[in-house]
């Protein structure tokens, strides 16, 4: 009489180990992707806060007209290809470079919305903030670190 062995064969063990290894590697890859996504979200949020601060500082400077002539220069033209203002802010040892673009809002005929009425002009302002990892200038996995915040500014509100 022949006895049947109840133990696993070497082939069965290798297949089981391969399946376990694939499962563990899949969970690890998913964990890395989630961590990268979380980091990107944090980076974009901080960039958005910095851009909003730059925008609010611009509005404050326009209200106070500081330096003198700042308000007239802002309303005096469109700044679509060359920025109206640029600079660098440092927050928690990270440097954020910003560019402020502004253009007059027009109607479908191309005329300035608000016309030539004093204190009635309207501009769309875009603040773009760039920052980077000092080692690689980008964070691995999601490219350049850049955020743009936009706002309409009415001459009457200033």
pLDDT in tens, the chain (158 residues): 566 667 778 888 999 999 999 999 999 999 998 988 888 888 889 889 999 999 999 999 999 999 899 998 998 889 999 999 999 988 777 888 999 999 988 888 877 777 666 677 889 999 999 987 555 555 555 666 889 999 999 888 87
Instruction: Quote the pLDDT of residue 43.
Output: 83
* Domain assignment present for 5: no
CB atoms within 10 A of CB 4: 4
* Domain assignment present for 1: no
User: How many CA atoms within 13 Å lie on the side-chain side of 54?
Assistant: 30
* Domain assignment present for 120: yes
Predicted TM-score of the model (pTM): 0.73
* Domain assignment present for 3: no
* Domain assignment present for 4: no
State the total domains in the chain: 1
* Domain assignment present for 82: yes
* Domain assignment present for 121: yes
CA of 55: how far to CAs of 22, 33, 66, 122, 146, in Å?
49, 33, 15, 15, 15
Q: Which domain holds residue 87?
A: 10-157
Instruction: Quote the pLDDT of residue 137.
Output: 52
List the structure tokens of 51. 């851009």
Instruction: Quote the pLDDT of residue 82.
Output: 94
* Domain assignment present for 2: no
């Amino acid at each position: 009489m022949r006895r049947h062995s109840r133990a696993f064969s070497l082939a069965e063990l290798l297949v089981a180990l391969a399946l376990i290894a694939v499962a563990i590697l899949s969970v690890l890859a998913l964990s890395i992707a989630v961590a990268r996504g979380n980091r990107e979200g944090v980076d974009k949020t901080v960039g958005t806060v910095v851009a909003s601060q730059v925008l609010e500082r611009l509005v404050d400077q326009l209200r106070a007209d500081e330096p003198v002539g700042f308000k007239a220069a802002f309303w005096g033209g469109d700044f679509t290809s060359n920025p109206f203002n640029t600079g660098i802010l440092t927050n928690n040892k990270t440097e954020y470079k910003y560019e402020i673009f502004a253009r007059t809002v027009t109607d479908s005929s191309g005329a300035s919305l608000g016309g030539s009425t004093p204190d009635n002009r309207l501009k769309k302002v875009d603040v773009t903030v760039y920052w980077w990892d000092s080692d690689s200038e980008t964070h691995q996995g999601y490219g350049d670190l850049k955020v743009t915040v936009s706002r309409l500014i009415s001459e009457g509100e200033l």
